[in-house]
Each structure stands twice: as structure tokens, then as C-alpha cells.
Amino acid sequence: MPFDVVVIGGGVNALTAASYLAKAGRKVTIVCPTDQIGGLCSRHEFYPGFTSPGILYDTSMFRSWVVDELGLKDHGLTYAKSTKTLAFGKDQHIILSEHIDETAEEIAKVSSSDAKNYKEMKAFYGKISGPIIQFLNTIPADIVDPQSSDLWSLFKRGFQLRKLGKKDMLEVLRLAPMAVYDWLDEWFENDGLKAALALLAVTESYSGPWSPGTNANLLIQQVSRGSSVKGDGLALVSALEKAAKSFGAHFETKAKVSAIQPGKGVDLEDNSFIEAKTIVAACGPKNVFLEMMDARHLSNTFEQRVTKFRTRGLCSQLLLAVNKAPSLVGNGEANRILIAEDLDSIERAFDPIKYDEVTSHPCLEIYLPSQEHNDLAPTGQAVISVLIHYTPYSLKGGWTGEAREKLCDNVIETLDNKIPGIKQSIVGKELLTPQDIQERYDLSGGQLCEGEHALDQLLVRPTPECSQYKTPFDGLYLCSGGSFPGGGLTGAPGALAVKMVLRK
């Protein structure tokens, strides 16, 4: 029985795309390679009785217009009142949230001038956010082979930017290629604050805070952050799944695609065939073109470009099963923790991966899911997800048992320093290196954004032929984080790709 569209993948972008397509009246099936829907926010038991919430959790950049258009609120999606992040610096901590005044008050405890500047910086982002948000929520112009519509769209973007006024326009052009180090240095004095703001912006690409271009990522994050979904990534996936089903999308789990036949359908590993004229791939571009397609169908130029798309993983996940929930400073309201002393310590954590080594002082991004999801761990116990920045994809000497143990020890030590007693409470753990992440989630290089967020890879993502979700093959579209505007739980690639699909 043929479908109109088959969506490959099971993550947020796949679900978003499928929902939109089904809503538009297409007969859609999702083929999800694993038994759990959710992609990078899918569950798996990593220790008896303890379940991982997946790797990604931050939903603050999930587009509100997608929520509205798909009516996700009717499917159980609610927003959290406030999402607090506990940022540990050296001998200090700050609690950050999306509430500017509240955060400024927190910052004032470590620096009053930074508190003032924080408000100013937020005001500045607010002022310039218009054209940037618009840019991030539109099908990107093809700047490599521009048609007149692309030129018009570029002109419009330029005009919107110009409308900010000469001074702000020039400031946007100045700040985008900067290193976050320099930018934050211009605003703030407190090391812990700078590190907390920088950490999430630099870890999406092969870069540290000293790397030029990282400020563009900070800018994008700062202007697109809003409220988080209550229950984070898992709750978002469940709302999307319900929405997709309500529109009539069909689900096929544990279905691994072995080959794509553009315009015809997909072959599954169990030798079955799903017929569909349109294929929307919510998996990484390298997976699509280098693994699921016959090399002979790719032109040399295209194949080279896909091969050169940079997908170097730089982050590992350590899942901890603990027998008692960690006690945190600040009333335990925060369910995410950042540990990075200062910008240099992030840079120093980045340095070794260039030589395929790993730092002994990692920076950590911690998520405590059990507060929202009490089914992940037995009562009174908890799951902690720790993202370790940075770790190389291939470690010199290999990711041996010894190397993994050493990394875990370093992480747990760092953790125990900030959250005393956590070490004793650990009953089980699982470490996923970039190689493991690649293996488990089918992510090329274990790159969590399905492609580094470097400037060139944001402007033309992933290749000129595919920068507008179309591909050189009729009926095949891309909609993963490997497409504009990039990785993370934004729903934007999924939603924008569908616009392109429906345009045809």
C-alpha cells in the first residue's frame, strides 16, 4: 500500500515534518530505526531500573509558531514557568533563567556591573532579534546558485537588517564573526558568568571560546531562546507524537532504512519496501547520501561536497544512576547545571581534542530529568545525564576500558566537587563517547547537531544543492539538524522542509 510520503527518522524534526505533512492531508509514514520514538530524546534503560532521557533536553529554542500551527498544546504540551540553570564557576554559583530581572539579581551577587550589563546585553539582543529570527525561520536563500527569488529574499534580509539603523546593523555584522571570548569580554568581568553564557554556544562546533565565529552561535541561541516545554525533550516528543498520530501519520518503529530510491520509496533492512513518491529524510546528510544511496547516482561534485561536510563529534554523555537525588544549592529548583570555571577552562578543555586527547578537567553540562519524569528511576532515586565537553571522536590509543574509566573518574570527581556526596550515591553508569553516540543514534561522527555549526556550514547547510531542503534527486528532501538552521530541538528544519515539499 503506497504512501504519499515516507519520513525517515524518529526525532523531533521527523515528527514535526510528519505532523505538518499529515496535517496537509498527505498520507505519511514515519520509519524510525529504533523501537523508541524521539531520536536524541528517546529513552533507553542504561542500568536496571534506570532509564536515560536521551541526550538533548533543551526545548527553549523549539519554535513557538510550530507549537501553534500544529496545535501541540492540545496534545499535552505546556510551558514551564521558569527553567533554572545552576552555573558553577570557581568558588561561586549563579542561577540563570529566562527571566532577565531575576537573572540580573542573581548576577548582582557576584558583580553589580555585570548585572547591569546583562540587562543591557539582553536589551541589545531584543532590539536586533527581529531580522535574525526572521532569517532563522525562513527557507534560506540559495547564495551559491541564486535564482531571482533568492536575490529578492537576500535583498529583503539586507533591508530588514538596515532598518535596525546604521549603528546596530554594523554591530550585528561586527559581532557575528567574533569569538565569544572577545564578545563576552567586552560586556562582563565575572569569569563564571562568561563561562556559563559561552559554554552552550561553543560546543556545537569544533571550536572553543577563542575560536572566531562562535559568537554567531551565541547570537542565534540568545535570540531564539524562549520558554521551555514542561518536561523538556521527552514531553515535547510525546506531544509531537500525539499530534502526528492525530493527523493520521502512520508509525513504523524498529525499521532501519537500507536504501533510498528517490521517487519510489525506501528499502528496509528486513528486505521489505515502503512505496512513497516523496521521501523526507530526517537523518544526517552523510547518512542519506553516503550510506543509503548508491554511490553511482551521486555526481562527483556532490559526493565530494557531502563528504566534506564536517561532522566531528566533540562531546560524550555520562549517564549516572544515583540512589538519592542530588541536593543542590538554590532550593533545588534548577534541573540543569553547568560547570565551567572560566572561558580559559573551556578553551583548555577544547585544546586536547585537536590532538585526539581528552582533558582531565572537563566542562560539564548536566541535566536532571527525574524531577519531571519520575518513571525514569525507582522512587527516591534519580538519573543524571552529564554531557562532557570536550571529548574527541577517536582517542589516541582508542577508547579502551581504561580510557573510559579514567574519563568517568574525572567527570565524577569534578561533579563531586560541586555537588558533594554525589560520588557515593552512584549505583550505575553508562558512558557514551562520540563513537558510541554515532553507533546508537546513527549520527555521523557522533556530532549532536548532525553537522558542525560553523559559519560556512550555517550559511550553506549542508551543501549548495541541498541548502533549501531539496536534493539533486526528485522527491527526496532533507529535514534533519544537518539542514538550515541547524541542530538542536528547534523543529525548524522539519517545518521549513515541509514548506518546500508542499511548494512542489
Partner 1 sequence: MIKFVSKPKTSSYDAVIVGGGHNGLVCAAYLAKAGKKVLVVEKRPLVGGAAVSEQIAPGFIFSTFSYVVSLFRPHIIRQLNLVKHGLQIIPMETTYNPIPGDKGLVRWADAGRTRHEIARFSQKDASLYSEFGLAMGRLSRFTKNIIDTTAPQPASLNPKELFKLLKMGKIFKNFDGNMRYLNVKLMTMSAIDFLQEWFESEPLLPSMAGSGIIGTFMGIRSPGTAYVLLHHYMGEIDGAYRAWGFSIGGTGQISLACAKSALSFGAEIITDAAVDHIDIKNGRARGIVLENGDDIKAGTVISCLDPNRTFLKMVGEHELSENFITQIKRYKNRGSSGKVNLALSRLPNFRDGRPGQHHLKGDITIAPTIDYVERAYDEAKYGEYSKRPFLNIVIPSLSDPSVAPPGKHVLSAFVQYAPYNIKEGADKWPDKREAFGNAVIDTIEEYCPDIRSCIIHKQIISPWDIEKMTGLTEGNIFQGELSLEQLAFLRPVAEWSRYRTPISKLWMCGSGTHPGGGLMGAPGELAAKTMLTEGGV
Partner 2 sequence: MPIKSPFHQRTSQFCQSMNWKDWAGYYAVVSYDTNHEQEYFAYRHAAGLMDVTPLFKYEVTGPDSLHLLSRIMAKDINKVKQGQVTYCCWCDDDGKILDDGTVSCLSQDHYRVTSAEPVFHWFHQNARSLKVTIEDITSRFGILALQGPLSREILTHAAGGDIASLGFFKLIDSTIDNRRVTITRTGYTGDLGYEIWCENNDALVVYDAVMESGKNYQLIPAGLAALDVARIEAGFIMNGVDYFSANHCVINSRKSTPFELNLGWSVNLNRDSFIGQQALKKEKKEGSLWQFVGLEYDWDAYEKIFANFDLPPQTPAQAWRTAVPVYNKNGKQIGRATSGAWSPILKKNLALASIKTGNFTMGDTLHIEVTAEYERQLCPVTVCKPMFFNPDRKRD
Q: Which of 182, 291, 416, 430 binds partner 1 (CB under 8 A)?
A: 182
Residue with cell 563561562: 195
CA 416 to chain centre: 27
Out of 76, 212, 226, 428, the residue judged to bind partner 1 by CB under 8 A: 212
Nearer to partner 2, 61 or 257 (CB): 257
Pick the closer one to partner 1 by CB: 253 or 301.
Answer: 301
How many Cα neighbours within 13 Å face the side chain of 448?
27
- Is the previous residue joined to 326 through a cis bond, with omega within 30 degrees of 0? no
User: For the CA atoms of the chain, what is the radius of gyration?
Assistant: 22
Q: Which three cell numbers stand for residue 123?
A: 536589551
Cα–Cα distance between 261 and 363 in angstroms, integer? Answer: 43
Identity (one letter) of the amino acid at 174? R
The answer to whether residue 303 forms part of the interface with partner 1 (CB under 8 A) is: no
Among 24, 143, 325, 426, binds partner 1 (CB under 8 A): 143
Q: Do 54 and 488 form a contact (C-beta atoms < 8 A)?
A: no
Residue whose cell numbers read 504540551: 77
Give the nearest distance from C-beta 305 to partner 2 in angstroms: 11
Q: Which is nearer to partner 1, 267 or 351 (CB)?
A: 351
Q: Which residue number, 285 or 486, has a Cβ lying nearer to partner 2? A: 285
* 177 is a site residue for partner 1 (CB under 8 A): yes
Our CB check for partner 1 shows the closer of 212 and 226 to be 212
- Of 289 and 469, nearer to partner 2 (C-beta) is 289
- Give the list of residues 6+ apart from residue 376 with CB closer than 8 angstroms, or none: 43, 50, 51, 52, 53, 369, 370, 382, 383
Q: What's the CA angle centered on 204, arms 416 and 319, to 5 degrees?
A: 35
Binding at 300: pick from partner 2, partner 1, none (beta carbon under 5-8 Å per type): partner 2
Shortest Cβ 31–partner 2 spacing (Å): 23
**Which residue lies nearer to partner 2 by CB, 84 or 286?**
286
Convert 190-229 to b/e letters by CB count within 10 Å (16 or more is b): bbbbbbbbbbbbbbbbbbbbbbebbbbbbbbbbbbeebbb
Please give the grid coordinates belonging to residue 288.
542519506
- Binding partner selected for residue 213 from partner 2, partner 1, none, CB under the kind-specific 5 to 8 Å limit: partner 1
Q: Return the number of other C-beta atoms located less than 10 Å from residue 331's C-beta.
A: 8
- Smallest distance from the beta carbon of 93 to partner 1, in angstroms? 25
Closest CA to 376 of 366, 387, 368, 365: 368
Tell me the pairing of strands 382-389 and 363-367. antiparallel
Query: For residue 158, what is the enclosing H or E element?
Result: helix 148-162
Within 153-172, the residues that bind partner 1 by CB under 8 A are 158, 162, 166-167, 169-171
| Site string (384-413) toward partner 1, x via CB under 8 A | ------------------------------
Please identify which residue in 271, 300, 331, 379 interacts with partner 2, judged by CB under 8 A: 300
Judged by CB, which is closer to partner 2: 272, or 304?
A: 304
As to burial, measured by CB atoms within 10 angstroms (0-12 exposed, 13-18 middle, 19+ buried), residue 323 is middle
Which among 240, 238, 257 is positioned nearest to 249, based on CA atoms?
240
At 239, list the grid cell: 506531544
Which residues on adjacent β-strands are paired with residue 260?
Answer: 266
Half-sphere CA count of 16, side-chain side, radius 13 A? 29
Interaction of residue 258 with partner 2, rule CB under 8 A:
no
Instruction: Please count the residues of this chain forming the interface with partner 1, following the rule CB under 8 A.
Output: 40
The C-alpha cell at 330 is: 538554590
Cβ proximity of 36 and 255 under 8 Å: no
Site string for partner 1, 101-140 (x = CB under 8 A): ----------------------------------------
Q: Does 295 bind partner 2 (CB under 8 A)?
A: yes
Position among 27, 99, 156, 297 found at the interface with partner 2 (CB under 8 A): 297
* 149 is a contact residue toward partner 2 (CB under 8 A): no
CA distances, 226 to each of 98, 229, 372, 402 (Å): 7, 10, 19, 41
Among 49, 64, 147, 173, binds partner 1 (CB under 8 A): 173
Binders of partner 1 among 432-461, rule CB under 8 A? Answer: 454-456, 459-460
Of the pair 183, 309, the CB lying nearest partner 2 is at 309
Stretch that binds partner 2, among 292-300, 312-320, 338-346, 477-485 (CB under 8 A): 292-300
Which residues contact partner 2 (rule: CB under 8 A)?
290, 295-297, 299-304, 307
Which residues contact partner 1 (rule: CB under 8 A)?
143-145, 158, 162, 166-167, 169-171, 173-178, 182, 186, 206-207, 210-213, 301, 305, 308, 310, 344, 347-348, 351, 354-355, 454-456, 459-460, 464
